[in-house]
Amino acid sequence: MPTRVYLMRHGEVQNGGEKRYNGHIDVDITRKGEEQMRSLAERLVGKPVAAVYSSDLIRSVKGARTIAGRLGISFTSLRELRERSVGKWEGLTAEEIKARFPDEYAKWRADLLNYRPPDGECLLDVHGRVLPVYRRLVADNRDREIALLLHGGVNRVILADTLGIEPLNLFRIDQAFGAMNIIDYYDDGMPVVKLLNG
């Protein structure tokens, strides 16, 4: 029996249509986002989900609470599973960043992997923060099924690592609001992505 991970993204956020970089901003989800979370919960009914995890941001916590409540189990929120921090750029759109921080924006576009926005994280920082915690959760739940309600960027980091693709290519992986991914981990150490952005 493989260890199965249901890796999901939170529901639509209040400013989702504005394409803002929320990062660590604690933006809430919309009514549609709540419906997306109830839909994810229904998809997991009848599955032997042993544990539910989220980041500590409200958009992630609300989804985890909905899912865990529907399954009749508790959930655990972890700060390490937060979305990437973009520091002083949080809450801004790409156009606003470009206008207010033209030099920094140019450096970021030239090196998406290593560049840190002012007071923020680079992609490699997110790898170093998220992946050890994620791997520990998978190891601690060997031969069980777990659900993680996380963020678009965090999910991409996990999926890129699982698929063995270069971190910079994670931008080629779509993660819609309310998306579900399924990853199975076998004893031979070879993970298999069974569902992507479903």
56 in any annotated domain: yes
Q: Tell me, what's the pLDDT at 17?
A: 82
112 in any annotated domain: no
110 in any annotated domain: no
Positions of the chain with pLDDT under 70: none
Q: Tell me, what's the pLDDT at 195?
A: 98
Q: What is the CATH number of the domain that holds 50?
A: 3.40.50.1240
Alpha helices in 117-197 (DSSP H): 123-140, 152-163
99 in any annotated domain: no
Query: The tokens 């140019």 sit on which residue?
Result: 106
165 in any annotated domain: yes
Query: Which pTM does this prediction carry?
Result: 0.96
What's the number of domains the chain is made of?
1
97 in any annotated domain: no
Q: Tell me, what's the pLDDT at 183?
A: 98
Instruction: Of 157, 195, 160, give the one whose Cα is nearest residue 47.
Output: 195
Burial string for 84-119 (b: 16+ CB within 10 Å, else e) reads bbbbebbebeeeebeeebeebbeebeeeeeebbbee
Residue numbers of the domain that contains 167? 3-86+121-195
Give per-residue pLDDT as tens, 29-52: 999 999 999 999 999 999 999 999
